[in-house]
């Protein structure tokens, strides 16, 4: 399969992976009714997947398809930033700090878990 991916231009791989990641993100939003839980889930799951992928040291084509494309579209920093900003705008500093710190810690733990799962 790697040889077949290597023959495809990188921008196409990123686009195909991005489309799949966006659809997966939409599915998670539907399952979790959007909002903070959905954003948290996709960021942690995506970080875990990306950590495992990078630790596995796949070919560049696989990184373009899954890492940049899928994970890039699946995870969402912008929604995370909006959630934190909205909490601050409503005076919920506690919620903003919990959201920001919790997402950062859980996403970094996900990267570590992904690496461990691959055996690095």
Query: Residue 120: what pLDDT?
Result: 63
Give the integer Cα–Cα distance in Å for 73 and 105: 21
pTM: 0.89
Long-range contacts of 95-99 (CB under 8 A, 24+ apart): 99/36, 99/40
The count of domains in the chain is: 1
Residues at the annotated binding site? 72, 75
Per-residue pLDDT of the chain (120 residues; tens, 9 = 90+): 667 899 999 999 999 999 999 999 999 999 999 999 999 999 999 999 999 999 999 999 999 999 999 999 999 998 999 999 999 999 999 999 999 999 999 999 999 999 999 986
> How far separated are the first and last CA of the chain, in Å rounded?
23
Query: Residue 1: what pLDDT?
Result: 60
Residues at the annotated binding site for Na(+)? 72, 75
Which residues in 74-101 are b (16+ Cβ under 10 Å) and which e? bbbeebbeebbeebeeeeeeebbeebbe
Domain of 26?
2-118
């Amino acid at each position: 399969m790697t040889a077949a991916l290597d023959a495809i231009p990188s921008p196409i791989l990123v686009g195909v992976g991005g489309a799949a990641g966006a659809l997966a993100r939409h599915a998670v939003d539907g399952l979790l009714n959007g909002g903070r839980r959905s954003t948290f889930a996709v960021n942690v799951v995506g970080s875990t997947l990306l950590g495992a992928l990078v630790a596995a040291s796949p070919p560049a084509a696989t990184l373009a398809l899954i890492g940049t494309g899928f994970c890039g579209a699946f995870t969402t920093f912008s929604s995370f930033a909006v959630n934190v900003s909205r909490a601050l705008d409503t005076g919920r500093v506690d919620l903003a700090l919990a959201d920001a710190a919790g997402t950062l810690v859980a996403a970094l733990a996900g990267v570590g878990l992904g690496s461990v799962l691959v055996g690095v």
